[in-house]
Amino acid sequence: MIKALKSHEFNFKGQTSVYHGKVRDVYTLSDGRLILVASDRISAFDHILPKPIPFKGQVLNQVATHFLKATTDIVPNWLLANPDVNVSVGIACEPIRVEMVIRGYLAGHAARIYKAGNRVLCGVQLPEGLKENDPFPEPIITPAVKADEGHDEDISREEIISNGHVPEHIYNQMEAYTRALFARGTKMAKERGLLLVDTKYEFGLKEGKVMLIDEIHTPDSSRYFYLKGYEERQRNGETQKQLSKEFVRQWLIKEGFQGLEGQQMPEMPDEFVEMVSQRYIELYERITGKVFVKEMEEDIITRINNRLSSYLMS
134-162 pLDDT per residue, tens: 999 999 999 999 766 556 799 999 999 99
Per-residue confidence at 302, pLDDT binned at 50, 70, 90?
very high
Model confidence over 114-135: pLDDT tens digits? 999 999 999 999 999 999 999 9
Q: How many Å is the Cα radius of gyration of the chain?
A: 19
Q: Exposure pattern of 183-215 as b/e (b: 16+ CB <10 Å)?
A: ebbbebbeeeebbbbbbbbbbbeeeeebbbbbb
- Could you tell me the residue ranges of all domains in the chain? 15-93+248-313, 95-244
Model confidence over 191-217: pLDDT tens digits? 999 999 999 999 999 999 999 999 999
CATH superfamily ID and name for 15-93+248-313:
Phosphorylase Kinase; domain 1 (3.30.200.20)
- The angle, 0 to 180 degrees and rounded to 10, between the axes of the packed helices 56-70 and 270-288 is 20
**pLDDT at res. 105:** 98
Model confidence over 209-260: pLDDT tens digits? 999 999 999 988 899 999 999 999 999 999 998 877 878 988 999 999 999 9
DSSP-derived pairing of the beta strands 135-141 and 242-244: unpaired
- DSSP states of 209-230 as a string? EEEEES--S-TTTEEEEESTTH
Verdict on whether the full-model pTM lies above 0.75: yes
**pLDDT at res. 148:** 60
The domain 95-244: what is its CATH number? 3.30.470.20
Model confidence over 55-111: pLDDT tens digits? 999 999 999 999 999 999 999 999 999 999 999 999 999 999 999 999 999 999 999
Which whole number is the average pLDDT over 22-28? 93
**pLDDT at res. 250:** 87
Answer for the pair 146, 22: CB distance below 8 angstroms, yes or no.
Answer: no
